Chain A
């Protein structure tokens, strides 16, 4: 069962780039890395998912080194509204094309506080 470790909290200022690193030393060969964002009193929201190298969408970028034992979520030019908890997940054996149950394993996440 792949376990993730990420910083408990981070502070940043508006306009800065924020990088949140997550370690997952026991990631399985076919596992994908997924990041979710959660605002207070709301459900988690999918941000980005990747397998290796770099993935970019309109919200964030995800950098994954060749050994896949860690990943870095990059948020460009954060604003106050990016203050939230960010979860790095390596699903319980979730892999594309598998028949696993797909349950997501959430850690404590990283609480990002963006200051003006």
Chain B
């Protein structure tokens, strides 16, 4: 993990509450990706953001989920009115730029969300 920070590492919420997951990319990286991993499964792409812009949100549920990557501060994945099916590990990845020779995505340690 080349410096991607995620917090909290563990988050417990009751059904109906809101979950906010934060991701600070590697310094200098302007591309952020969010993935979700259910137990015993591979990661599933959710959303790709550049500073202040959502580029691709094709993997994100249309309702209750939103993401942002403001000019200043971390990227935020927000889940409103959580349900038990939202329980998963959420990983953030960043890359220095897109389309060039350094497309490698560096992943954070993840946030494990448990909905009771």
Residues of A within 8 A of B (CB): 34, 41-46, 49, 87, 92, 94, 96-109
Contacts and interface: CB of A to CB of B under 8 A. Distances in A.
Nearest to A91: B103
Contacts of B105: 46, 102, 104
B69 interface: no
B99 A99 contact: yes
A96 B101 contact: yes
Interface of B: 1, 4, 31, 33, 35, 41-45, 48, 55-56, 58-59, 91, 93, 95, 98-101, 103-110, 112
Contact of B42 (A97, A98, A109): A109
B65 to A, nearest CB: 16
A94 B103 contact: yes
A101 B44 CA distance: 14
9 contacts: A34-B104, A41-B112, A42-B1, A43-B4, A46-B105, A92-B45, A102-B31, A104-B33, A108-B42
Contacts of A105: 45
Nearest to B46: A103
A106 B42 contact: yes
Given A42-B110, A105-B45, 11 more contacts: A43-B4, A92-B45, A96-B99, A96-B101, A98-B99, A102-B31, A102-B48, A102-B98, A102-B103, A102-B105, A106-B44
Contact of A101 (B35, B41, B56): B56
Given A105-B45, A108-B41, A43 B100 contact: no
Contacts of A94: 103
B99 A101 contact: no
B103 A45 contact: no
